[in-house]
C-alpha cells in the first residue's frame, strides 16, 4: 500500500504541509524502499476487515476508487479528485479499518506531533467566535496542496449557547483536468470546532480553536489560530486571517488562509491582512488567490459513476498501475528493485 497513504483529512477546512514537489513523490516507491510490503498483512483484509472489503469490492466503483488513489501515489490534489469522483461510505470504512484500526497496511507510527502545538505570538486575544457565525468565502491560501480549490465557502453555526462550539459547513469544487474532459465535482463536508479561547485563560501563543475527527475514513487533528480580523465597522472590510497546524497519519502540516464576506478579498482589506500576516511571521506575497467566480454548470457528481466495467477494465483494476495488487504488494513487478 502507499507509504504515505493519504493526507485526506482536513483538506478543506484547513490544510497541510508544504511538502516536496508532489509530482516527484511516489508513495509506492517509498513504501517498497523500506520493505514495508513484507509487513503488510494480506490476511487482515479478509479476517479483520472482511465486511468492509466485501462491501467495497462488490462494486466496480469501489475498486475504481482504490485504484484511483493508488495511481495518485500519495499526491494530495490527485487523491482529492479520487474522493470527489468515487468517494463513498464504503471507501471511508475500508480505509479506516485497514489502515488505522487494524494496520493491515503498515504506516508510520509515533510521529512527533509537538510542532502543531507551537502557536503564534500574534494570536488575536479574546476572539469572539460569534463573529464567525454565518457564511464566509475562503479567498486566499498559503498551501496549494489543500487550499487551492475553487468556489470555497465555509458556513458557521453555533452549537453551544456561548458559541464555545461551532459547526462548520464546507463547500468547494474539485476541477477535473481539461485533458480528462474538464468540468467539476461539488463537495460538501462538515467539521465541529471547539473554541479554546473561551474555555481557558489562553496565552497569546495558544490555539484559538481546534477540530478533530475522521474525514474520508482517516483520523485528523487540527489547531486554528486567529491571527488577524476586522469586524468591518471601520474603513477595513470584514476579514478573518487563520493560521492552522495539525497532523494526519502522514505527519504534521500547517498553512494559512483568509476569510472574507465577498468572493474576492477587497483591496481595502489587503494592507491590514498583510500586516497581520507579517506579525505572525508569514509573508502575504506567498498567498495565492482562490477562484470563487464559480461558473454556472452541472457538476459531475454521480453516485453511479464507475459502476459499469468491462472484463478488460477489471483486469486493469487488479493488475494495472495503482491496482489492487499494488496496494497489497507494491513493487511486485520489480520496478523498485535496485
Task: Compute the average pLDDT of residues 167-191.
Answer: 87
pLDDT tier for residue 32 given thresholds of 50, 70 and 90: very low
One domain for residues 33 and 168: no
pTM score, two decimals? 0.73
Share of the chain above pLDDT 90, in %: 33
The count of structural domains within the chain is: 2
Residue 19 has pLDDT above 60, yes or no: no
Q: Which residue has the higher pLDDT, 241 or 86?
A: 241
The CA-atom distances, in angstroms, between 323 and each of 63, 81, 219, 245, 295 are: 8, 17, 24, 33, 35
Residue 304 belongs to a domain: no
**Residue 96, domain extent:** 22-108+310-328
One domain for residues 118 and 259: yes
One domain for residues 101 and 120: no
Question: How high is the pLDDT of residue 150?
Answer: 94
pLDDT tier for residue 213 given thresholds of 50, 70 and 90: confident
Provide the sign of the torsion angle of the four alpha carbons 129, 131, 134, 135, taken in this order.
Answer: negative
One domain for residues 74 and 199: no
Question: How high is the pLDDT of residue 322?
Answer: 52
Cell 502522514 belongs to 250
- Give 117: exposed, middle or buried? Use CB within 10 Å, 0-12, 13-18, 19+: exposed
Residue 11 belongs to a domain: no
Taking Cα atoms as reference points, which of 62, 91, 94, 65 lies closest to residue 78? 65
One domain for residues 125 and 234: yes
Residue 2 has pLDDT above 60, yes or no: no
Other C-beta atoms closer than 10 Å to the C-beta of 175 total 19
Task: Specify whether the CB–CB gap between 132 and 7 falls below 8 A.
Answer: no
Which H, E and C letters describe 196-249, residue by residue?
A: HHHHCCCCCCCCCEEEEEEECCEEEEEEEEEEEEECCCCCCCCEEEEEEEEEEC
Task: Specify whether the CB–CB gap between 327 and 317 falls below 8 A.
Answer: no
Residue 27 belongs to a domain: yes
What is the Cα–Cα distance from 185 to 188, expressed in whole angstroms? 10
Residue 303 belongs to a domain: no
One domain for residues 63 and 88: yes
Q: Which of 85-89, 146-150, 156-160 has the lowest mean pLDDT?
A: 85-89
What is the Cα–Cα distance from 84 to 277, expressed in whole angstroms? 32
Q: Which residue has the higher pLDDT, 22 or 150?
A: 150
Taking Cα atoms as reference points, which of 227, 235, 230 lies closest to residue 277? 227
Residue 4 belongs to a domain: no
One domain for residues 205 and 142: yes
228 Cβ contact partners less than 8 Å away, ≥ 6 residues apart: 122, 124, 239, 240, 241, 272, 273, 275, 276, 277, 279, 280
CATH of the domain at 181: 2.40.128.20
One domain for residues 193 and 318: no
Question: How high is the pLDDT of residue 78?
Answer: 76
Highest-confidence segment of 22-31, 216-225, 252-261, 280-289? 280-289
Residue 120 belongs to a domain: yes
One domain for residues 278 and 202: yes
What is the Cα–Cα distance from 7 to 14, expressed in whole angstroms? 12
Residue 136 belongs to a domain: yes
One domain for residues 175 and 132: yes
Provide the sign of the torsion angle of the four alpha carbons 76, 284, 119, 227, taken in this order.
Answer: negative
Which H, E and C letters describe 135-165, residue by residue?
A: EEEEEEECCHHHHCCEEEEEEEEECCCCCCE
One domain for residues 157 and 223: yes
Question: How high is the pLDDT of residue 60?
Answer: 75
Q: Which of 37-51, 188-202, 229-243, 269-283 has the lowest mean pLDDT?
A: 37-51
Q: What is the pLDDT of residues 136-151, one digit of tens each?
A: 999 999 988 778 889 9
Residue 83 belongs to a domain: yes
One domain for residues 77 and 126: no
Q: Are strands 134-141 and 150-158 parallel, antiparallel or unpaired?
A: antiparallel
Residue 172 has pLDDT above 50, yes or no: yes
How big, in percent rounded to 5, are the helix, strand and coil portions of the chain? 35, 25, 45
Amino acid at each position: 500500500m502507499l507509504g504515505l497513504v493519504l493526507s485526506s483529512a482536513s483538506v478543506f477546512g484547513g490544510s497541510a504541509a508544504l511538502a516536496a514537489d508532489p509530482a516527484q513523490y511516489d508513495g509506492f516507491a517509498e513504501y517498497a524502499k523500506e520493505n514495508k510490503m513484507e509487513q503488510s498483512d494480506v490476511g487482515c483484509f479478509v479476517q479483520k476487515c472482511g465486511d468492509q472489503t466485501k462491501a467495497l469490492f462488490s462494486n466496480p466503483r469501489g475498486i475504481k476508487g482504490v485504484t484511483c488513489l493508488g495511481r495518485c501515489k500519495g499526491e494530495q490534489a490527485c487523491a482529492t479528485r479520487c474522493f470527489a469522483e468515487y468517494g463513498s461510505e464504503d471507501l471511508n470504512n475500508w480505509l479506516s479499518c485497514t489502515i488505522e484500526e487494524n494496520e493491515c497496511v503498515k504506516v508510520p507510527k509515533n510521529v512527533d506531533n509537538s510542532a502543531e502545538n507551537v502557536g503564534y505570538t500574534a494570536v488575536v486575544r479574546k476572539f469572539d467566535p460569534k463573529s464567525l457565525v454565518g457564511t464566509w468565502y475562503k479567498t486566499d491560501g498559503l498551501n496549494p496542496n489543500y487550499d487551492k480549490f475553487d468556489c470555497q465557502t465555509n458556513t458557521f453555526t453555533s452549537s453551544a449557547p456561548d458559541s464555545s462550539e461551532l459547526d462548520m459547513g464546507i463547500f468547494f469544487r474539485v476541477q477535473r483536468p481539461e485533458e480528462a474532459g474538464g468540468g467539476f465535482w461539488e463537495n460538501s463536508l462538515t467539521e465541529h470546532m471547539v473554541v479554546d479561547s473561551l474555555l481557558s485563560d489562553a496565552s497569546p501563543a495558544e490555539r484559538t480553536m481546534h477540530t478533530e475527527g475522521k474525514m474520508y475514513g482517516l483520523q485528523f487533528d487540527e489547531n486554528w489560530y486567529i491571527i488577524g480580523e476586522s469586524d468591518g465597522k471601520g474603513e477595513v472590510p470584514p476579514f478573518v486571517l487563520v493560521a492552522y497546524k495539525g497532523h494526519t497519519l502522514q505527519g504534521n502540516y500547517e498553512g494559512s488562509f483568509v476569510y472574507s464576506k465577498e468572493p474576492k478579498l477587497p483591496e481595502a482589506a489587503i494592507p491590514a491582512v498583510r500586516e497581520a500576516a507579517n506579525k505572525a511571521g508569514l509573508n502575504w506575497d506567498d498567498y495565492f488567490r482562490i477562484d470563487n467566480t464559480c461558473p454556472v454548470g452541472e457538476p459531475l457528481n454521480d453516485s453511479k459513476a464507475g459502476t459499469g466495467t468491462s472484463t478488460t477494465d477489471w483486469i486493469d483494476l487488479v493488475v494495472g498501475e495503482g491496482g489492487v495488487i499494488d496496494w497489497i504488494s507494491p513493487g511486485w513487478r520489480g520496478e523498485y528493485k535496485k
